[in-house]
Amino acid sequence: MTEPGGSPAERAAALADAARAGDRRALARLLTSVENHTAVAEQALRLLYPLAGGAHLVGVTGPPGAGKSTLVAALIAQLRASGRTVAVVAVDPSSPITGGALLGDRVRMQSYASDDGVFIRSMASRGHAGGLAATSTSAAAVFDAAGFDVVLLETVGTGQSEVEVAAAADTTVVLEAPEMGDEVQAIKAGLLEVADIVVVNKGDRPGAQRTAAQLRAMLTPPGESGRADGPSARRPDVLVVTALTGEGVPELLAALDRHRADGAAEAAPAARRARAAAQVRAVLAERLWERLASPSLTPTTDAALERVARHETDPYAAADALLAALGREEAP
Amino acid sequence: MTEPGGSPAERAAALADAARAGDRRALARLLTSVENHTAVAEQALRLLYPLAGGAHLVGVTGPPGAGKSTLVAALIAQLRASGRTVAVVAVDPSSPITGGALLGDRVRMQSYASDDGVFIRSMASRGHAGGLAATSTSAAAVFDAAGFDVVLLETVGTGQSEVEVAAAADTTVVLEAPEMGDEVQAIKAGLLEVADIVVVNKGDRPGAQRTAAQLRAMLTPPGESGRADGPSARRPDVLVVTALTGEGVPELLAALDRHRADGAAEAAPAARRARAAAQVRAVLAERLWERLASPSLTPTTDAALERVARHETDPYAAADALLAALGREEAP
């Protein structure tokens, strides 16, 4: 890859080409641009997006302490053993400052530093202008276009945006640890709604099989053998895995593949449309905001926001006034 | 309050009036409407918003297990003892299904069921069309307009949206528990960035004073006596509190009052503008999306989203095409 130079369009084309060709530095640089919502990132994404769509996007989420990073590491090993390449978008709940230090298991992943078939990217969970879902979906599209077979989206299961990221994948894995108290039972029930596959981790602990049995019972509506409320109208698989030793991980991979094969006809298109809608919405909101921040409209916009801040008007009236100002601006 | 009837505008006016007059059923009903983004909620908010602005909005956030609900209960007691009324918007990380069951301490708050000076409202953290920040800010505005002196926004400190809710308050309290491991140290550093006041809870534990000393050291940049990067360019107070017994809570309330008095001249207007911008952005995005879902544009919108989902086009091209379609639609 050459050093950056030329117009944004030229640099975007060079970055996109290099990323597709497997240049890891180019890929890393492009992902940084995507996180920062630069003009180069937009141009590169426009080139790469039509080339994406082949990867299997797998969301991995669960409460803190359930062992997400360990499971992701085990999945990487299993996918590599089966000859597939894998990229990870890990949404890190810590700040950009402390970044990678948060998850001790990330160290384990550094054993893949010399393997071109693995790429791990941590993203901060705060400060995304277009929203976390839009940024991480764009990052996944970059990996997808770069030819990775599987893209894992790893998020902590305790935030609105974070759960939505995992839920918008083709297949969503919700991880649980056995023997948890009442508080986590409640979180569990909330997370289960988005699960295509439920994994009870730490399967070597005494409570694991019991937890799995409880989860299966929770997931079976009374008087029915399958649930009818989910997008795929079927009951998620519940698997017991010991991520640390790899036990149960081949079965998890088989379940992921099965879900993808089944899902191609039902759930996945819905997930893909939801991702598309989230991305288009984010771009629309950005475009609108950019126009309102244009030199000619900035005074109007600032005055409207100030009036809302002072409670002299309400956000609805301000939004409608700004839309009207935008319409006048654009009229010939 | 009369039973609902009449046009949305009439029902909104009746609800807004009743909420202002202190009718708790009306307040509860209005908050449900706000959560569901109904037309009645919009009309009522437009009436109430100009009456808001007098309350002190206090964000309370921190990692799971730090004792947020216990601290909120202690703050309620202290505020009531000082003759002030208080409303709580608690953003619940569990699903609507399991809702209130999550936090055991919520039960404690039911002791205020007969006190009109306290109103506690749990909100689900998922499924808000306009975003969690916009919904919870609207709920806070309702309480504000209804005359509550203090509105506490309680959120878990492990999600993008959740932290943003607390950070957008006039004063943000970040809660920590002593003696936590490395993982939580990192979360701590991330959360500290948004703190106006840091509270070490469980002050009766041996590690509390040491944790407070560590936090003070982290918050003092080398060679400086105050930080210069925050919105208020000053170092947050670090207090030790035992929420369970109430020890240190009067000092916390004094710190909150002091921050508000100081902040009126510096940080608070910025927080108010940030809240206004978040709300106006949310309304703009909603308005735009509503127009794209109008009968005449739905086929165009659906086709564009489908093409993005199939990777036949990219989200930027689709957004621009939709904006152009919208412009043609609105041209005379």
Domain boundary among A229, A250, A267: A267
- Range with lowest mean pLDDT among A225-234, A289-298, B253-262: A225-234
Chain B residues lying within 8 Å of A142, measured CB to CB: none
- Range with lowest mean pLDDT among A107-111, A183-187, B66-70, B262-266: A183-187
**pLDDT score, position A306:** 94
What is the distance between the alpha carbons of residues B150 and B117, in angstroms, rounded to a whole number?
10
Distance from CA of A56 to the nearest CA of B (A): 14
- Range with lowest mean pLDDT among A212-226, B174-188, B296-310: B174-188
Is pLDDT above 90 for B57?
Answer: yes
Distance from CA of A8 to the nearest CA of B (A): 16
**Do B3 and B70 sit in the same domain of this protein?**
no
pLDDT one-digit tens code per residue, B241-297: 999 999 999 999 999 999 998 876 666 678 888 888 888 988 898 888 889 999 999
A46: contact with B, CB 8 A cutoff: yes
Task: Classify residue B283: in a domain, yes or no.
Answer: no
Confidence band of A251 (pLDDT split at 50, 70, 90): very high
Task: Classify residue A283: in a domain, yes or no.
Answer: no
Confidence band of A41 (pLDDT split at 50, 70, 90): very high
Share of chain B above pLDDT 90, in %: 43
**Do B133 and B207 sit in the same domain of this protein?**
yes
Is residue B213 within 8 Å of B200, Cβ to Cβ?
no
Range of the domain at B17: 1-51
Which of A155 and B27 is assigned the larger pLDDT?
B27
Task: Classify residue A282: in a domain, yes or no.
Answer: no
Which of B269 and A80 is assigned the larger pLDDT?
A80
- Range with lowest mean pLDDT among A29-33, A107-111, B137-141, B206-210: A107-111
Euclidean distance between the first and final Cα of chain A, in Å? 45
Confidence band of B179 (pLDDT split at 50, 70, 90): low
Crossing angle of helices A298-309 and B267-292, in 10° steps, is 110
**Do B226 and B239 sit in the same domain of this protein?**
yes
Distance from CA of A123 to the nearest CA of B (A): 12
Chain B residues lying within 8 Å of A267, measured CB to CB: none
Task: Classify residue B40: in a domain, yes or no.
Answer: yes
From the candidates B69, B160, B301, which should be mutated to test the interface with A, based on the most A CB atoms within 10 A?
Answer: B160
Task: Classify residue B278: in a domain, yes or no.
Answer: no
Task: Classify residue B285: in a domain, yes or no.
Answer: no
Which of B255 and A100 is assigned the larger pLDDT?
B255
**Do B58 and B43 sit in the same domain of this protein?**
no
CB atoms within 10 A of CB A134: 25
Chain B residues lying within 8 Å of A304, measured CB to CB: 280
Asked if A94's CB is within 8 angstroms of B190's CB, the reply is yes
Which of A62 and A45 is assigned the larger pLDDT?
A45
Asked if B160's CB is within 8 angstroms of A162's CB, the reply is yes
Distance from CA of A93 to the nearest CA of B (A): 6
Of A45, A51, A273, the CB nearest to B309: A273
**Do B47 and B72 sit in the same domain of this protein?**
no
**pLDDT score, position A232:** 44
B221: contact with A, CB 8 A cutoff: no
From the candidates B106, B162, B283, B297, which should be mutated to test the interface with A, based on the most A CB atoms within 10 A?
Answer: B283
**Do A249 and A227 sit in the same domain of this protein?**
yes
User: What mean pLDDT is predicted for residues A289-314?
Assistant: 92
Is pLDDT above 70 for A216?
Answer: yes
Closest residue on chain B to A48 (Cα): B314
User: What mean pLDDT is predicted for residues A72-95?
Assistant: 86
Instruction: Select the highest-mean-pLDDT range: A206-220, A228-242, A259-273, A311-325.
Output: A311-325
What is the distance between the alpha carbons of residues A168 and A272, in angstroms, rounded to a whole number?
7
Confidence band of B124 (pLDDT split at 50, 70, 90): confident
**Do B90 and B127 sit in the same domain of this protein?**
yes
Asked if B50's CB is within 8 angstroms of A314's CB, the reply is yes
pLDDT one-digit tens code per residue, B6-26: 888 999 999 999 999 989 999
Q: Where are the alpha helices (DSSP H) in chain B?
A: 8-20, 24-35, 39-48, 68-81, 106-109, 132-145, 160-167, 182-192, 208-219, 249-263, 267-292, 298-309, 315-330
Number of domains, chain A: 3
Percent of residues in chain A assigned helix, strand, coil, to nearest 5? 55, 15, 35
Interface of B with A in 247-306 (CB under 8 A): 269, 272-273, 275-277, 279-285, 287-289, 304-306
Confidence band of B99 (pLDDT split at 50, 70, 90): very low
**Do B30 and B17 sit in the same domain of this protein?**
yes
**Do B207 and B131 sit in the same domain of this protein?**
yes
**Do B22 and B79 sit in the same domain of this protein?**
no
Say if residue B1 is exposed, middle or buried (CB neighbours under 10 Å; 0-12, 13-18, 19+): middle
**Do B19 and B155 sit in the same domain of this protein?**
no
Task: Classify residue A301: in a domain, yes or no.
Answer: yes
pLDDT one-digit tens code per residue, B33-43: 998 888 899 99
**pLDDT score, position B234:** 67
| Mean model confidence pLDDT for chain A | 82
**Do B299 and B198 sit in the same domain of this protein?**
no
Domain boundary among A232, A250, A267: A267
What's the per-residue H, E or C state across B4-62? CCCCHHHHHHHHHHHHHCCCHHHHHHHHHHHHCCCHHHHHHHHHHHHHCCCCEEEEEEE
Task: Classify residue B277: in a domain, yes or no.
Answer: no
Distance from CA of A276 to the nearest CA of B (A): 5
Is pLDDT above 90 for A161?
Answer: no
CATH number of the domain encompassing residue A81? 3.40.50.300
A170: contact with B, CB 8 A cutoff: no
pLDDT one-digit tens code per residue, B198-229: 999 999 988 888 888 888 888 876 554 444 44
